[in-house]
A and B are shown apart, each in its own frame.
Chain A
């Protein structure tokens, strides 16, 4: 019987390790990441600067600078196929076809010397058997879908002629022009103003529904996660420390880091006298502490945490946490 979980696994990452071999030593940017993304879902990957979010996405896309970067262990199963084992030639077929990516800075995917129409048509021609005229017609259609006004005129603009928000839209149009099953969006709205961010997030949600696409959304903004994601993975120092659905994460954060993070953001809908703070700083990835990597900042760490790292374990249905003492956290929550 498969009634329990009928959702189709689109992407499953198991124990992914991606290291950089630098002059100062081995930098364990991604150090045993496990993730699961179902068809038609949005998975949020959150965490502070340098925790390994982008390296995770670059590993999936197989776009790591190599050397110094290397996937040293683990599986990246996309519809059952291990991307970590594919040749670059096979990957090129997948990229921009089954999997597309958008970035914080649109100019990393838009070419400044070609018009946006040129670039989108090119992508369509590469992946679909259509005439040039038809490709141009579809490009205009795409620009219209992402909300660019008078697309039949804008199609002949160069990227620099568009505003920041419009460039972001053009990049999304380019990424979606081949109906990908998976869209990886790495901080797609971080550089934008909030009113423009609201437009882009709404657009991504609409497109997800109409295309039944899955999205992996990388961000450090918990507000964005709450408003767009079905499931969330919280990353700290190269590992996933908590994984669950959005309601579970915000309603019942069970890793001390997630809990600390949620309490340290000022909120528009609440009045707090004094913000909660997480002591100390993120550890240096060239020199992670022994045991649990959060032990240098954790309010409930003990000797066990200094020696040994916990596994990512299921503490209630669909809610996974990497912590020895998640039960103790409940007491701490009561005090605050």
Chain B
């Protein structure tokens, strides 16, 4: 992987396997290779979009970086330090710099806490305020920055719409002044008109606070809009990573090509060529041998069945894992 001088986060050969246990003695009979040897970096102030179909390992990637899940192997270098070797105390400190926003604004907020308590909680945990008054002021300011007003402070999550709840989740993430925010499908559960409000908010906040985002989503249109670079995942692997312009104008991996062609364009006058993939996404429990995409790939060659393609650079910062490009 190319060395990036100002990378805030660098992930090297990260793996996360989940054991599947069965039988009387709960023996491990198989493994879900949810994330299987992925590498990428995110520069300071940049947004990297991570896209891919359901179950390809996007959320697991996010959770493993944050150490909500223990990595099976690999390195997560954040601000120059490998956080996977951190002690519990160091992890807690790290969580100030790395925050997460979840997809489901309903499930991720405690229904029994008021907005002030939800947003104020991380301030207490990290001892960022000295007294109640200071906390109140800070919460007010945080709510203001996500477009909520003081009248909302004493209400409970169920009194808010989906978009408003997502704003509360964003305010809570911002409370500790993080450097990196992992946004796991932050707009997928929202209606289109509300989705646009939240996307714009995330972009404004990035400008204002110089935030770095790992933006996880399955909607490539949304990802392309918000990201500087995009990484495409398939069955536990990153198959392509490049600038958002190149991913759209010059996709090199056959999976990226078919994914792009499958997205319906809201314009009936455009008649585009569609590559319809055969079959379903296979299971990560027994992933196909060689290149994991080979059973569905329109360009499959003999080598693809046996050998896992290397994730290599083809052109300016354009990484692809595909034998077809070397033919």
Chain A residues at the B interface, C-beta cutoff of 8 Å: 48-49, 149, 163-166, 193-199, 201-202, 220-227, 246-247, 250-251, 260-262, 264-269, 272, 274-278, 281-282
5 closest Cβ pairs, A-B complex: A223-B264, A266-B225, A264-B196, A198-B262, A193-B53
Chain B min CB distance to A278 (Å): 4
> Do the beta carbons of B277 and A195 come within 8 Å of each other?
yes
Q: A194-B262, A278-B196 are in contact. Are A247 and B221 (CB under 8 A)?
A: no
Q: Contacts A48-B193, A194-B53 hold; do A165 and B265 have CB atoms under 8 A apart? A: no
Q: Is the interface of A mostly helix, strand, loop or mixed?
A: helix
In the complex, what distance in Å separates the CA atom of A197 from the CA atom of B161?
28
- Tell me which residues across on chain A come within 8 A of B225, comparing CB atoms: 266, 272, 275
A-chain residues with CB within 8 Å of residue B53 when the two chains form the complex = 193-195
Q: How far is the CB of B55 from chain A (nearest CB, A)?
A: 9
In the complex, are the beta carbons of B193 and A226 less than 8 A apart? Answer: no
- B43 CB to nearest A CB, Å: 20
Residue in A149, A267, A281, A282 whose beta carbon sits within 8 Å of that of B221 in the complex: A267
Asked if B163 and A268 make an inter-chain contact with CB atoms under 8 angstroms apart, the answer reads: no
> Is the Cβ of A223 less than 8 Å from the Cβ of B263?
yes
A264-B193, A264-B196 are contacts. A226–B268 as well, Cβ < 8 Å?
A: yes
| B224 CB contacts on chain A under 8 angstroms | 266, 268
Interface residues of B, Cβ cutoff 8 Å to A: 53-54, 161, 163-164, 191-197, 199-200, 203, 218, 220-222, 224-226, 248, 258-270, 274, 276-277, 279-281
Interchain CB contact under 8 A, A266 and B276: no
Taken together as a complex, chains A and B put the C-alpha atoms of A163 and B260 apart, in Å, by 22
Complex interface: chain B residues within 8 A of A195 (CB): 53, 258-259, 262, 276-277, 281
Contacts of A225 in B (CB 8 A): 266
**Which of A197, A224, A266 lies in contact with B222, CB distance below 8 A?**
A266
A223 touches B218 (CB 8 A): no
Residues from chain A with Cβ under 8 Å of B279 in the complex: 149
- B213 to nearest A CB, angstroms? 15
What chain B residues lie within 8 Å of A223 (beta carbons)?
Answer: 263-266
B221 touches A265 (CB 8 A): yes
Cβ contacts A to B, 26 pairs, < 8 Å: A48-B191, A165-B280, A195-B53, A195-B259, A195-B262, A196-B280, A198-B274, A220-B191, A221-B264, A226-B265, A226-B267, A226-B268, A227-B265, A250-B266, A250-B269, A261-B192, A264-B193, A265-B195, A266-B199, A267-B266, A268-B248, A268-B265, A275-B196, A275-B200, A278-B196, A282-B193
The interface residues of chain A lying within 8 Å CB-to-CB of B248 are 268
Contact of A264 among B195, B220, B270 (CB under 8 A): B195
Q: Which residues of B contact A281 (CB under 8 A)?
A: 161, 163-164, 194
Distance in Å: Cβ of A177 to nearest Cβ of chain B? 23
How far, in Å, is B150 (CB) from chain A's closest CB? Answer: 19
Q: How far is the CB of B148 from chain A (nearest CB, A)?
A: 13
B258 to chain A: which residues have CB within 8 Å?
195
Shortest distance between the CB of B243 and any CB in chain A (Å): 12
- Which residues in B have their C-beta under 8 angstroms from that of A220? 191-192
Q: Are the C-beta atoms of B277 and A282 separated by less than 8 Å?
A: no
B265 touches A267 (CB 8 A): yes
- Contact between B264 and A260, CB atoms less than 8 A apart: no
CB–CB A277/B265 < 8 A = no
A194-B53, A226-B266, A265-B266 are contacts. A278–B193 as well, Cβ < 8 Å? yes
Taking CB atoms, residues of chain B closer than 8 Å to A194 are 53, 218, 220, 259, 262-263
In the bound complex, residues from chain B placing their C-beta under 8 Å from that of A221 are 264
Instruction: List the B side residues contacting A165 at CB < 8 Å.
Output: 280
Q: Is the CB of B265 within 8 A of A276?
A: no
State in angstroms the CA–CA spacing of A227 and B265 once bound together. 7
Q: With A194-B259, A195-B276, A247-B269 given, can you name 6 additional A-B contacts, CB distance below 8 Å?
A: A195-B258, A195-B262, A198-B274, A227-B264, A250-B266, A251-B269
Contacts of B262 in A (CB 8 A): 194-195, 197-198
B242 → chain A closest CB, angstroms: 15
* Residue in A49, A251, A277 with the greatest tally of chain B CB atoms within 10 Å: A277
Q: For the complex, give the distance between the alpha carbons of A42 and B192 in Å.
A: 23
> What is the chain A residue whose CB lies nearest that of B191?
A48
How long is the Cα–Cα vector from A223 to B260 in the complex, in angstroms? Answer: 13
Give CA–CA (A81, B279) in the complex, Å. 42
User: What B residues does A251 contact at CB under 8 A?
Assistant: 269
> Contacts of B194 on A, CB cut-off 8 Å?
281
Question: A265: which B residues are within 8 A, CB to CB?
Answer: 192, 195-196, 221, 266
Known: A266-B221, A272-B225. A261 touches B268 (CB 8 A): no
Q: Is the Cβ of A222 less than 8 Å from the Cβ of B280?
A: no
- Distance between Cα atoms of A330 and B314 in the complex (Å): 47
Closest Cβ of chain A: how far from B59's Cβ, in Å? 15
Q: Given A194-B53, A195-B259, is A222 in contact with B266 using a C-beta cutoff of 8 Å?
A: yes
CB neighbours (8 Å) of B203 from chain A are: 274
Nearest residue (CB) in A for B54 is A193
Interchain nearest-CB distance for A146 vs B (Å): 14
Chain A residues with Cβ below 8 Å from B226 are 266
Q: How far is the CB of B38 from chain A (nearest CB, A)?
A: 20
Most chain B CB atoms below 10 A, which of A149, A195, A223, A261:
A195
Do residues B276 and A199 form an inter-chain contact, with CB atoms below 8 A?
yes
- Cβ contact of A275, chosen from B199, B266, B267, B276, cutoff 8 A: B199
Is B196 touching A224 in the complex (CB atoms < 8 A)? Answer: no
With a cutoff of 8 Å between Cβ atoms, the chain B residues found around residue A262 in the complex are: 266
**Contact indicator A269/B191 (Cβ below 8 Å):** no
Chain B contacts for A272, CB-based, 8 A: 225
B190 to chain A, nearest CB (A): 9
Chain A hits for B222, CB < 8 A: 266
A197 to B280, CA, bound (A): 11
For the complex, give the distance between the alpha carbons of A304 and B171 in Å: 38
A275 to B191, CA, bound (A): 14
